[in-house]
Structure 1
Amino acid sequence: MLHNIDPILSPDLLHSLRAMGHGDEIVIVDANFPGSSSGPKCIRADGSTASEVLKAVLSLMPLDTFVPDPALTMEVVGEPETIPEAVADFQAIINEAADNPAQIQTLERFAFYDRAAQAYAIVQTGERRFYGNIILKKGVIG
């Protein structure tokens, strides 16, 4: 055990967060997302929700301030203006926990899959709410 580190953050997840560089992306996904077949390393966090993992990750990782969209979610198919419950929760967590809060932007479903496939890692959670997926771009610590 370590002081001041959320126990949700597994050794594999901590290693990935530390190994990532500025501009690298990590994807936190729900239980329905094809995490293992998407390409990047898939870290399992089945006993946690995406919101819990997001809050834990943001307790350590800075969001990128050099881009207008350091946090991206998947837009609802056929209803791009709809904000799912999980996404509203993500925005509240970012507003509260991020070192540089940012407004979440969205990507069309297949564009989200393509972007996730290029990420450093994917964290597959046990999140059961639909559209409980978010991409985070790592920033720097001054």
Structure 2
Amino acid sequence: MLKNLDPLLSADVLHALASMGHGDEVVICDANFPADSVARASVLGKLLRLDGVDSARAIRAVLSVLPLDTFVDHPALRMEVVGEPNTLPAVQREAQAEVNAAEGRDVPFASIERFAFYDRARTAYCVIATGEQRGYGCFVFKKGVLLAPDAPSQPGAGSRS
């Protein structure tokens, strides 16, 4: 057991998220998404799973350790409802609340058409399947950076004597 880590994050998921670099993308998808076949084309090449949880809970866990990219206009994407691109089903509204909470600010989802979403997911670093049974619980997140505080300005500053 580790401190300050969401218990949903398995060693495989943590390793994948830590291995991602700035600008890499992670897909979190529902149980209806063709996750296994899409994940085989991803950089990681295998599917990661967070079974038994809905999309919002999976997003909360992932974004507890993954910063979103602040250098792009839309670091979070949602799959559009077919034929209704402006519709936001409950699963996406719940996910939006988790994204905003994790970032401490509003980070509105950009939408992406269903087949364009599949294509984008194939180029992602990794795909994480959830137990979400509602449709359109599919999202892409672009990893940002965590910058270290400035180093001490003088040699030996901050060291213990």
TM-score, normalised to structure 1, is 0.96
Uncovered stretches (5+) of structure 1, i.e. residues with no partner: none
Asked if the contact 1:65/1:100 (under 8 Å) is kept, the reply is no
> Pick from 67, 73, 79: which aligns with 1:68?
73
The residue that corresponds to 1:121 in the other structure is: 126
* Greater Cα offset, 56-65 or 45-54: 45-54
**CA drift at 1:68:** 0.5
Q: Determine helix, strand or coil for the equivalent of 1:37.
A: helix
Asked if 1:35 is matched to 2:35, the reply is yes
What displacement does 1:98 show?
2.1
**1:86-125 alignment, distance < 5 Å:** 86-98=91-103, 101-125=106-130
Quick one: distance in 2 between partners of 1:45 and 1:94?
Answer: 18
RMSD over equivalenced CA pairs, Å: 1.0
| Ranges in structure 2 where 5+ consecutive residues have no aligned partner | 148-161
Contact 1:63 / 1:137 at 8 angstroms: preserved in 2? yes
Q: Which amino acid in 1 is paired with 2:6?
A: D
| 8 Å CA contact retained: 1:59, 1:98 | no
Which residue of 2 is the match for residue 16 of structure 1? Answer: 16
Which has the larger Rg? 2
| Secondary structure of 2:35 counterpart | coil
| 1:43–1:121 Cα contact (<8 Å) kept | yes
TM-score w.r.t. the length of structure 2 is 0.85
Per the alignment, in what secondary structure is the counterpart of residue 49 of structure 2?
Answer: strand
Counterpart residue type for residue 77 of structure 2: L
Q: Distance in 2 between matches of 1:93 and 1:44?
A: 19
Matched pairs, number: 142
